[in-house]
Structure 1
Amino acid sequence: MKLLAAILAVLFALPLPAGATAPPGLPADLTSTEVSFRGEGGLELHGSVISPANARAGRPGVVLVHGAGTGTPREKLLAEAVGAARQGLSVLIYDKRSQGYSTTERSYPQLAEDALGAVATLRRQPGVDPAKVGIWGLSEGGWVAPLAATRPSSGIAFVIVVGANALSPLRQQAWAVAAGLRKAGAGGSLVGRAEPNLYRVIADGGLFPEPYHDPEPVLARVRQPVLAIWGVHDLLTPPRETPPLFADALEAGGNRRYTFRFFPQADHAAHLTPDGGVTRLPELAPGYAELVGTWVGEATSGRAPVAQVSGPAPVQAVDSFGVPPTAWWESAAMQVVALVLLLVAFGGYPVVALVRRVRRRDAGVPSVAARVISAGGLVAILGGFAYLFYVIMTGGKLAAPGPMLGDRPVLWLALQAVAVATVAATAVTVATWRRAGTRGERVRLGLLIAGGAVFVPWALYWGLLLP
């Protein structure tokens, strides 16, 4: 059975019959061979090997690893594949897995095993020198590619990363969204408190995959030559902070065969951008593909440059910030408990009044302060979370906080005003609680007061009571 499994694994890694459909838009001076291979867990993945039409024997090859995204098709990296193939390389691009990978679930070791399956496939292609096959990773692939390169017997000859990050994924994402908000003119507690806290709670709840992956120990184990490329206008990776950390990690492992290059007028993916990184054009930055071709030739012939850094200084307006794990009192579980208590406290008051009216019992005349606590608390809680999730979903370089008043989004200011009114109404209700007409009314008001008491630290934590 083991022999049969091995034979099947080899068969599934072989190219499909010639004449299979090539990726759309492939230039006439290039050829494509469709391949299928096994990724981690035996998942079948499909890709294309793109080569020059007059490819020479013994040529280098490179596997391209996608950035973040579920089931990203190979065509997303066609521009990079075409650019590298025109430099004399054979390039394997493949459809990213969707099984086991989603917005809330992913494993970098799993993605690294997928990439290694692609590397093994490319090394078997006719005309490709198996000793000259490397790996290239974009963005999230910048965490995956070095991990694959450190696997024993990976066969990887070199590593190229673009828009890569030496920070943890959670810290990178929190920085990107905060930087996007600041770029849109937002500041204050929304950016400094609410946004990072939301990411910390999401990570604690298991909804942010691989949040604390540490790339530096992985980079310290990379022994292959490394080419790292950043666009000067990278809005998703801190482009000023990351390169020194990359260099320190590589040198800590004794690897000085690295080349860092910064491209002007280029974005996160080293594509041209006309507006400082917000819009990505289809064209690669001038000289990017040529750099890859020249550097791969040097790296695969044992002449990789040593500690070479060049290009204009990257633009990074603000530093990244720590996003540590939550303490027990701010954990996702405690946030859920607090949310349930607040909803019961604030929602229970009108519900009880409605039930009493339906049963034709005297519901009493609710005070203005009680109404403000109930309605204001519900609006602040539900509206606050709705707005925060909207912000992070439109975060990063395309942050859209809505209309602004100074450096504060109008919607956030409105939520803060509601929160202040809720606290003030709670104080008024505390002062009048003993004068409530009936015992039942005192119980209902007591529940509202308890909710208001819990609401104060909750609103402070989420920045609704902070400037």
Structure 2
Amino acid sequence: MLSSEERTEPRVHTVVGRRLGGSYRLLASAALGIVALAILGAVMGPQWDPVPLADPLTVATTSTAIGDAAPVQTYPVRTSVVTVQLDGATVDAQVSEPVGLDGPKRGVVFVHGAGTGRYDTAFLEQAHALAASGIVAMVPNKRLDTYTTRHRDYVLMAADYGASVAALQSFPGVDPDGVGIYAESEGGWIAPIMAAQDPTIAFVVLVSSPVVPPREQAAFAVDSYLRNTGVPHGVFRAIPRAVGMSLPGGGFEYADFDVTPYQRQMAQPVFVVYGTGDASMPTIQGAEQILRDTAIAGNGDVTVRYYEGANHGIRVHGDVDTVFLRDLSGWVLGLPGTGDSAPRIAGAQPEQTYVAAPVPEPRWLGDGDVVLALALAAVALIVLGPLAVLVARAVEEATERVRRQRGTPVTVTGPRFARGVLPSLVALGFGAILTVVALVWYIVAVARLALDYERNDLVVQGGWVAVRVLGVAVVVVGVLLLRRCRRVRSDGGQPSPGIVRTATLWGGVIGSVVLLVVLAYWGVFQLGI
């Protein structure tokens, strides 16, 4: 006869074996689901593999001085506000002019970058420096009734700024043949149009000009910002999928605007300026393309300068670089002699790691409206199902109460989810939503760090790990829900009896799967695939 210990030991091994086997199957199923999501996320959209810049630009000298420029004089400055008539609107413009300088003066009209632009906040230092050196500077307010985030027409904007050029050409004391334009950032897509269409424009100053189409510049800037912030490699996959897709709500036609045809018609002297601390612009590629495009027009009067540590607005420690202001005034006052003065390329040595190139278009989720609709529909399926169950349960309880009040015996309660099914379903659905929310929070947090040129490993590295852990946890919960439903069915039960509960179960599962696929698309489950 076996002892009690001999009879108990096989049972213990059997129970332990079942538990180990169950844990192994759980991990294996979750791993399989994660690998499937990783593969799906990889094949659904383009990867991000920017091409290294293989043609570095070398400056001739570290000095930015304009060779043929005379020493800059200093004059008192007087300002006034004039009204400029546009096509269907008017804008105010501030004119800064030197006091005590006789004779016709050169003039400069400023073209704003992205966003709003007012004369009382934009180009204050540049306009004052030009006026103090003997140049009349006009800063018009940007026309905003035709300028929105979704819709911008650079050709029409060029016509509006052209009205300011005409106004300054007729301003008292200004030489009408000596008026040029100063364009910064987004203005670099507008100024070449003006120069190509109006030969009376005397010169062009391009400061931090993007040169490449807006979509390419945006992808380049995001890549640079993310690298400066130190994000994990897997985050870069989102660049072509976000920048390459059409955004929800339509618009943004200007994202693919190409300024090249207009640059190839610029016959005026051009002063190209970049700061080496500007991570948002292709500083080498931009200058090289302007040199090539103007050469096609037979224009050799191009001067390129790079300023050490200057940012997008050619600012160093918050102030516009005084050396740049000196060079700007000297170059304008010295024209036409300074148009081709040596050296052509000078200043601090610029660096550009990757080429700004066309952005691959997403194959499956390239329509932002579809992506948004999928996400909202998935959330609706997840959220409305439990609400429907609550309503159905309230109706069932009210019915049972009425039956009892009438004396009708209630021998069978209303349908219920099988034990463990509803908690797992709720955890799956709301876990998927939480992961999406965490991903959005992470993107916003990283964007703020990137725009401020800051690094925070806790947010950048730790946040990405947290988002991915949440995603894995949701997959595990999904496997647990599947196993629970299979076990209930094998025991002859129904995981979700009734139409409402069946619809809730399937809606929650489908909605969660859709969100998991969306998360996979944005790289949450990638495994280096």
**Partner of 2:297 in structure 1?**
253
User: Secondary structure in 1 aligned to 2:121?
Assistant: helix
The answer to whether structure 1 residue 437 and structure 2 residue 495 are counterparts is yes
Q: Assess, with a 3 A threshold, how the Cα gap between structure 1 residues 450 and 400 changes in structure 2: closer, same or farther.
A: farther
**Partner of 2:76 in structure 1?**
29
User: Secondary structure in 1 aligned to 2:476?
Assistant: helix
**Partner of 1:23 in structure 2?**
none
Q: CA deviation at 1:133?
A: 0.6
The answer to whether structure 1 residue 230 and structure 2 residue 274 are counterparts is yes
The answer to whether structure 1 residue 179 and structure 2 residue 224 are counterparts is yes
* Partner AA of 1:299 in structure 2: L
Q: Assess, with a 3 A threshold, how the Cα gap between structure 1 residues 32 and 297 changes in structure 2: closer, same or farther.
A: same
Residues 33, 49 of structure 1: 8 Å contact kept: yes
Quick check: 107-116 or 295-304, which moved more?
295-304
Q: Quick one: which of 324, 339, 343 aligns to 2:375?
A: 339
**Partner of 1:291 in structure 2?**
327
Provide Cα deviations, 1:327-376, integer angstroms capped at 9, x if missing partner: 46431122023113311332234223322333335542453532331111
The answer to whether structure 1 residue 82 and structure 2 residue 140 are counterparts is no
Q: Quick one: which of 496, 515, 519 aligns to 1:455?
A: 515
Quick check: 102-111 or 77-86, which moved more?
102-111
Bigger RCO (CA 8 Å, 6+ sep): 2
Quick check: 343-352 or 262-271, which moved more?
343-352
Quick check: 308-317 or 353-362, which moved more?
353-362
User: Secondary structure in 1 aligned to 2:443?
Assistant: helix
Residues 204, 326 of structure 1: 8 Å contact kept: no
Provide Cα deviations, 1:194-247, integer angstroms capped at 9, x if missing partner: 344233346464364621121222211212111101111112212233222222
User: Secondary structure in 2 aligned to 1:46?
Assistant: strand
The answer to whether structure 1 residue 127 and structure 2 residue 173 are counterparts is yes
**Partner of 2:465 in structure 1?**
413
CA distance in 1, matches of 2:313, 2:387: 53
Quick check: 140-149 or 294-303, which moved more?
294-303
Provide Cα deviations, 1:370-402, integer angstroms capped at 9, x if missing partner: 23311111112233334434544x265316686
TM normalised by structure 2 equals 0.73
User: Secondary structure in 2 aligned to 1:210?
Assistant: helix
Residues 232, 266 of structure 1: 8 Å contact kept: yes
Instruction: Structure 2: give runs of 5+ residues left out of the alignment.
Output: 1-73, 398-413
**Partner of 1:378 in structure 2?**
433
Q: Quick one: which of 397, 404, 427 aligns to 2:451?
A: 397
The answer to whether structure 1 residue 168 and structure 2 residue 213 are counterparts is yes
Q: CA deviation at 1:426?
A: 2.7
* Partner AA of 1:194 in structure 2: A
Residues 385, 503 of structure 2: 8 Å contact kept: no
CA distance in 2, matches of 1:420, 1:72: 49
CA distance in 2, matches of 1:251, 1:404: 49
Residues 229, 446 of structure 2: 8 Å contact kept: no
* Partner AA of 1:421 in structure 2: A
Q: Assess, with a 3 A threshold, how the Cα gap between structure 1 residues 73 and 105 changes in structure 2: closer, same or farther.
A: farther
CA distance in 2, matches of 1:462, 1:399: 24
Q: Quick one: which of 329, 334, 345 aligns to 1:309?
A: 345
**Partner of 1:49 in structure 2?**
95
Q: CA deviation at 1:450?
A: 2.3
CA distance in 2, matches of 1:337, 1:351: 21
**Partner of 1:240 in structure 2?**
284
User: Secondary structure in 1 aligned to 2:284?
Assistant: coil
Percent of paired sites with the same residue: 25
Residues 81, 93 of structure 1: 8 Å contact kept: yes
CA distance in 2, matches of 1:397, 1:340: 29
CA distance in 1, matches of 2:103, 2:75: 20
Residues 257, 307 of structure 1: 8 Å contact kept: no
Provide Cα deviations, 1:127-149, integer angstroms capped at 9, x if missing partner: 21111110110111111111211
CA distance in 2, matches of 1:458, 1:130: 58
* Partner AA of 2:424 in structure 1: A
Q: CA deviation at 1:44?
A: 0.5
CA distance in 2, matches of 1:90, 1:110: 25
1:69-218 paired onto structure 2 within 5 Å? 69-151=115-197, 153=198, 155-190=200-235, 192-201=236-245, 203=247, 205-206=249-250, 208=252, 210-218=254-262
Pick the structure with greater CA Rg. 2
* Partner AA of 1:177 in structure 2: V
CA distance in 2, matches of 1:154, 1:371: 68
Q: CA deviation at 1:181?
A: 2.9
* Partner AA of 2:149 in structure 1: T
CA distance in 2, matches of 1:61, 1:371: 68
TM normalised by structure 1 equals 0.82
* Partner AA of 1:31 in structure 2: R
* Partner AA of 2:463 in structure 1: L
Provide Cα deviations, 1:307-333, integer angstroms capped at 9, x if missing partner: 811112124455546434444643112
Q: CA deviation at 1:104?
A: 3.1
